[in-house]
Homo-oligomer: A and B are copies of this chain.
Amino acid sequence: MIDLFLDGVPIRGRSAALFDQLRAAIVEGRLRPGDQLPPSRDLADELGVARSTIATVYARLVGEGYAEGRVGDGTFVTDYHTGSNKRTQAQAGTHSVRIARHIPPWADTLTTPPGGWRIDLRTGRPDPSLFPVVDWRRCATAALDRPPPGYGEPAGLPELRNAIAAWVSRSRGVQATYDTVLITAGAQGACDLLARALIVPGDTVAVEDPGYAPTRQAFAQHGAKIAAIAVDADGIDVIQIPRSTRAVIVTPSHQSPTGVVMSGARRRQLLALARTRDLMIIEDDYDTEYRYVERPLEPLHRLDTHGRVVYVGSFSKTLSPSLRLGFIVAPADLIAELTRVRHLVDVQPPHMTQATLAAFIASGGFERHLRRTGRIYRSRRDHLIAALDRLRRNGTIESFDQCPAGLHLTVQLLRGDQAARVADRMQAAGIAIMTTAEHHVADRALDLVIGFGLASIQQLDQALDALAKSG
């Protein structure tokens, strides 16, 4: 086996560094076609990294055609040069395509073990078994009675924009009208459009650290310089935002992933900064729909008197991420520009899911769905908090966040380097669980992240038993 070097590489860069070293070894012929890569557990031990890091790197090597998995046998180097592996056989003589800008794979996708996960504690996934199948199908079949129209409005179906305007006004006090709402492909689609409309390459965009990686990657893809700003108990540390910043992206209702709710003082500080420095605030009102404690704080959009706040919402966490529906509320002139961007990206949102969601909201089905699922998620959350409190008191864990909102919380272990190893052991026991590793820009101690969107109360108990045994 060849030598691999990770000394001095920060945790976040390790997967990329390993990938580059293995790929170089294959391309340069130091690893030869048919050579077996070491089992991921062995290599993880040897290099002192999490086993999931190795699995991610191997998956990427397979994905790009440098290696192939043989079932029950391991991972082997392919004959990359002559194209004799399965991936390139389909096109004899294929040259590798020159790629302009390589994008690192998003490592939130754990490799599912054969037979699937026993318990799934991943975040950002509502329970599919709670999906309102009957109500939704009624709204969908009504829409399917007619042929879909030809081209629709790039900003989205007018009925849906009206329904969302009424809904955010009722539920969040966000003042919106038909022409200040744009339908997007979830929050990620919103970020991509906003980056294209607001960012000139070289502009600085401030993000929360830790924070959701695909958001900052979307802005970086359009040439933004990313300024990672630490999050404390009040939310993003506003005074660290660099002077030249063009836009700030925040999740004030439930910071992703720490769970912090941005304090009222911090909100006012951020709005004052936006006013004096002419920067835009992108308020991703993540996880606002499920709230378990205290009266919610007003969204930044509602407090804003200078049109500096763009409000982003999504139906991914309440209905299903596979709907790909979310929205932007912004001043009408920005909405007009985003509409032209949307036309270039993919012309318009798809008609059928828009028509279905519009009818679902207008009929009151969405609010009924939130009440029903909110009760279920609250019982899981309360149970989890009580169980974690026992683990904290008996010294198994250091602390945890109280989950004021949303479908996940973070757990701090007793030793700062413990989370990755605990996650590995729990994964080996069939439990899908992540750490905050993928969220961090700066190198720092990792937390465990426990999502309860997909897990029953019994499964949460089993998972915490496994956690206690994995320390």
Q: Which stretch from A87-95, A390-398, A455-463 is at the chain B interface?
A: A87-95
Q: Are B188 and A103 in contact (CB under 8 A)?
A: no
Closest beta carbon of chain B to A454's beta carbon, Å: 8
Say whether, besides A148-B320, A324-B349, A344 and B125 are in contact (CB < 8 Å).
no
**Number of residues of chain A lying within 8 A (CB) of chain B:** 97
* Whole-angstrom CA separation of A322 from B147 in the bound complex: 10
Q: Are B218 and A344 in contact (CB under 8 A)?
A: yes
Say whether, besides A90-B332, A133-B146, A307-B93, A200 and B345 are in contact (CB < 8 Å).
no
Q: Are A125 and B144 in contact (CB under 8 A)?
A: no
Q: Are A90 and B324 in contact (CB under 8 A)?
A: no
Determine if A65 is an interface residue (Cβ-Cβ < 8 Å). Answer: yes
Q: For A331, what are the chain B residues with a Cβ–Cβ distance below 8 Å?
A: 88, 91, 94, 96-97
Determine if A170 is an interface residue (Cβ-Cβ < 8 Å). Answer: no
Q: Are A306 and B147 in contact (CB under 8 A)?
A: no
Q: Are B307 and A346 in contact (CB under 8 A)?
A: no
Say whether, besides A93-B307, A198-B100, A125 and B146 are in contact (CB < 8 Å).
no
Which of B103, B140, B189 is in CB contact (< 8 Å) with A346? B189
Determine if A131 is an interface residue (Cβ-Cβ < 8 Å). Answer: yes
Per-residue 0/1 for A145-156: is the Cβ within 8 Å of any B Cβ (1 yes, 0 no)? Answer: 111111110000
Q: Are A200 and B129 in contact (CB under 8 A)?
A: no
Determine if A263 is an interface residue (Cβ-Cβ < 8 Å). Answer: no
Determine if A264 is an interface residue (Cβ-Cβ < 8 Å). Answer: no
* Whole-angstrom CA separation of A146 from B133 in the bound complex: 7
* Whole-angstrom CA separation of A289 from B323 in the bound complex: 29
Q: Are A100 and B347 in contact (CB under 8 A)?
A: no
Which of B131, B201, B334 is in CB contact (< 8 Å) with A99? B334
Say whether, besides A133-B144, A198-B99, A200-B100, A347 and B332 are in contact (CB < 8 Å).
no
Q: Are A221 and B344 in contact (CB under 8 A)?
A: yes
Say whether, besides A189-B345, A200-B101, A214-B344, A322 and B148 are in contact (CB < 8 Å).
yes
Q: Are B103 and A125 in contact (CB under 8 A)?
A: no
Determine if A35 is an interface residue (Cβ-Cβ < 8 Å). Answer: no
Q: Which stretch from A49-57, A173-181, A249-257 is at the chain B interface?
A: A173-181
Which of B129, B136, B147, B305 is in CB contact (< 8 Å) with A93? B305
* Whole-angstrom CA separation of A40 from B90 in the bound complex: 57
Which of B99, B125, B189, B218 is in CB contact (< 8 Å) with A337? B99
Determine if A25 is an interface residue (Cβ-Cβ < 8 Å). Answer: no
Q: Which stretch from A9-17, A69-77, A226-234, A350-358 is at the chain B interface?
A: A350-358
Q: Are B337 and A351 in contact (CB under 8 A)?
A: no
Residues of A bordering B, CB below 8 Å? 63-65, 87-88, 90-106, 125-126, 128-131, 133, 136-137, 140-141, 144-152, 175-177, 179-180, 184-186, 188-189, 192, 196-201, 203, 214, 217-218, 221, 278, 280, 305-308, 320-325, 330-334, 336-337, 340-341, 343-353, 454
Q: List 7 A-B contacts (CB under 8 A).
A: A90-B332, A93-B307, A95-B306, A104-B340, A189-B345, A196-B221, A201-B201
| Contacts beyond the supplied A137-B145, A221-B344: 9 A-B pairs with Cβ under 8 Å | A90-B180, A93-B305, A94-B331, A97-B198, A97-B330, A100-B198, A214-B344, A320-B351, A352-B352
